[in-house]
Amino acid sequence: MNGLTGSYKPDSIGVVDTMGCATMEAIAYMTRWYKEKLQIPVEIHVHNEFNLSVATTLASVFAGAEVVHCCINGLGERTGNTPLEDMVAALQILYGYNAGIDIGKIADLCQEVAVMSKYPIAAKKSVTGKDIFVRESGIGADMIASTPLAMFAVNPATYHQKGSLVLGKKSGLLSIETKLGELGIDMERETRKKILGEVKEFGTEHKRCLTDEEFMAIVKKYAPGI
């Protein structure tokens, strides 16, 4: 029998993946099944055991779910729930759906919740991490500021951030030129090549990128007067 009858009819029904182990296909099937059988709004609530909560939530939305359960920073039991910030970004940027939320303000909200909850945001966390627009690769280093969408999936300005360049073993000559340009320093090409060699050596030896101070220490070896 389709639909619900009797004196009591719920406003909606929730598809709940408490263990976070349902696949996107399963969630979509369940959403469609409930909508067809009960003919009432469906809510979706999933956990993130396999880091698929955004994907499974989106699958439910596309199958007809009208209500999405999310948490700021994905906070929740065990691996957490669907992160609000990731869900909003996916809906509004990838699918063009206006959720009525200012994406640019999400980072501030998430940071405030992180402080209150005492769960810091990982530097590489999607949407809100402080290092998600940092590039080390030398390819296109000069476009980080001028043509950000050639280097990033999202314009950093969308999240009220800026793209930045760091130097390390993956840097190229263009990286050195760009960084020197940022510092207002002009050097001969052969000198830049020598600096690049030292930068790559440093990155390989220390297994990390250089700080601006460490880069300047290398530059001053070739231009003591700077």
pLDDT for 139-198, tens place per residue?
A: 888 899 889 999 999 999 999 899 999 999 999 999 999 999 988 899 999 999 999 999
Q: Which residue has the tokens 């130097």?
A: 167
Instruction: Please report the pLDDT score of residue 137 as a whole number.
Output: 87
Instruction: Please report the pLDDT score of residue 145 as a whole number.
Output: 85
Average pLDDT score over the chain: 92
pTM: 0.83
Contacts of 85 (CB under 8 A, 6+ apart): 72, 73, 106, 107, 110, 126, 127, 128
- How many alpha carbons lie under 13 Å from residue 95 in its C-beta half-sphere? 14
CA distances for 42 relative to 61, 67, 91, 135, 223, angstroms: 9, 7, 18, 41, 67
Instruction: Give domain limits for the chain.
Output: 13-99, 134-221
Residue 155 burial by Cβ neighbours in a 10 Å radius (0-12, 13-18, 19+):
middle
Instruction: Please report the pLDDT score of residue 1 as a whole number.
Output: 44
Retrieve residue 5's tokens: 């009858």
Q: Is pLDDT above 70 for 102?
A: yes
Retrieve residue 154's tokens: 């999202």
pLDDT for 21-67, tens place per residue?
A: 999 999 999 999 999 999 999 999 999 999 999 999 999 999 999 99
Percent of the chain residues topping a pLDDT of 90: 82
